[in-house]
Structure 1
Amino acid sequence: MSLDETAHKPHDRLAAYLAADMAAVNALIRERMASEHAPRIPEVTAHLVEAGGKRLRPMLTLAAARLCGYEGIHHVHLAATVEFIHTATLLHDDVVDESTQRRGRPSANLLWDNKSSVLVGDYLFARSFQLMTECGSMRVMEILSNASATIAEGEVLQLTAAQDLATTEEIYLNVVRGKTAALFAAATEVGGVIAGVPEAQVQALHAYGDALGIAFQMVDDLLDYGGTSAVIGKNTGDDFRERKLTLPVIKAVAAADAEERAFWTKVIARGQQDEGDLDRALGLMRRHGTLEATKIEAQAWAAKARTSLEILPEGELRTLLAEIADYVVARVS
């Protein structure tokens, strides 16, 4: 990809706009992930934090605060908090999913072990709570602590819904709202809170983050059946192999005839997967149009995210946030 093409990505333009703030966030992250007595902590954390992730969530916090006219320093603390929460969940997720790849690199649990990943994730959660208290806002602490609980709840719900062909689209949406959208929504909402804007604007930022997070996860689920490892940072088809009931599969199961349902029961409910089953699953999803239907739903959530921004101050940042919503779904165009 050329430099010109990269420069036109809204994510990269947002990163350029927030470059000074993000430099401060990255410095704070490196400072707070240190440990005097347990060198394993910065080793594991650095492997994931410095793996070239897009840092979208902390940038959303910075952008929301700046959009609302905030001129203090606490948006940096909150952005670092959001990244620590996110990194902790990734460490735990890779253990739960028995993943071997994250952000295009070997996962931490593969390079070290499950115990290290779980305990370092716990450390980062603790660090995130230390950071959020430094803002001195009970409202901010309430939002971020509630989001942390919701993320954990969403992960447990996904665990109990996994491999259950009775899982509905409503349950799927609850899982997505928990494990992904909750942190997006909190990341943008706290930016408005520390800026002291009217409640209607704070709620608009929450709605933007919620809708953006849902669109983001739906697209991730789609990419698992049609993206490349370079784009999604994991192996294509991992969700199928892990028997995750994401939206394209849920829709295909709902539309299945008796023979097709028997196939889904074999590969998802029973976990009996043979060579060629992934290709057959893709064929069934294409037959029933579930990949396209999922893409349309993701686009609708992205449109909702853009609409939520309309009561916020006009300007370059608002435009960039709106374009981020478009970019999230353009990954499957």
Structure 2
Amino acid sequence: MKGPILTIVVPCYNEEEVLLETTKQLSAVLTNLIDDVLVSRESKILFVDDGSKDRTWDLIEKEMAENPFVKGLKLARNVGHQNALLAGLETAAAKSDCVVSIDADLQDDIGVIRTFVEKYWDGFDVVYGVRDKRETDTFFKRTTALGFYRLMNKIGIHLVPNHADFRLMSKRALEELFKYKETNLFLRGLVPLVGFKSTKVFYDRKERLAGESKYPLKKMLAFAFDGITSFSITPIRFVTFLGFLAVIISAAAGGYALFQELTGHTESGWTSIIISIWFVGGLQLLAVGIIGEYIGKIYREVKRRPRYAIEVDAFSNHGQSEQQPGILMSTVGK
């Protein structure tokens, strides 16, 4: 029985310190899967260079020349992790029966890729890699991550807790995912919307092999806020609630002031005035900011700009690295 063609998609941004070791370990995984007839001999590793400023692409080209498993996709500029991952998924889906996505830093346990493939053989279209524990994280990161998942669930966004972008998707699941056209990508929220039969595989995450995390606190907070505003209008409704609450408080304060006036107990003072002005002004700024965030997303969506541009595609061209200046590749208009 011929196994499915598997492509392992690895988005890379300035990963020269880990790339060679990542290639070595993923190649060993593919070799074992092929030997056990779990996947086809046509299976590949697709590295997506997201506009790296170091020697990442040079190393990818070197590995392509020496390792038959390795293929490369070079984006014309840095477009961010989610868009780079999507570029790899769209490119790989054309010649694959299933695709595994994994980061290049070797923190995810590549050993469970075998379990992913076994679950695929069992009929699952989506297999989520879920962290069993978060002991490698700081207390702050563990606490904020737990709070994030709870908040997302409360506002109606059903994510897979402790799951990042380490997953397997079948060809038909990917084809459904590509029908979602939004520019503001949050794949962790989109994949569960695809449906199809899914399951989870638990694993322990490792320390990063080398280099620095590409998701410092600032980016993590921006990513979380982007996910919330991309999938829910609850923040706007919360602003509406605050507006009603401010009106009620103002009415109560006005009633109290009127009572004081009628009973002759009024006193001049500025504290209450300043507090009320600051309170209402703060609510207005908060409301304008949140609404502006949604308007900004609408602005980006209606432009329908391509999500990424491919400079070199050594996967679709059967290993030939051809320059493609000016060719934009995206799901827009497909």
Structure richer in helix, relative to its length: 1
TM-score (norm 1): 0.27
Normalised TM-score (structure 2): 0.27
Task: Determine which structure has the larger strand proportion and give its number.
Answer: 2
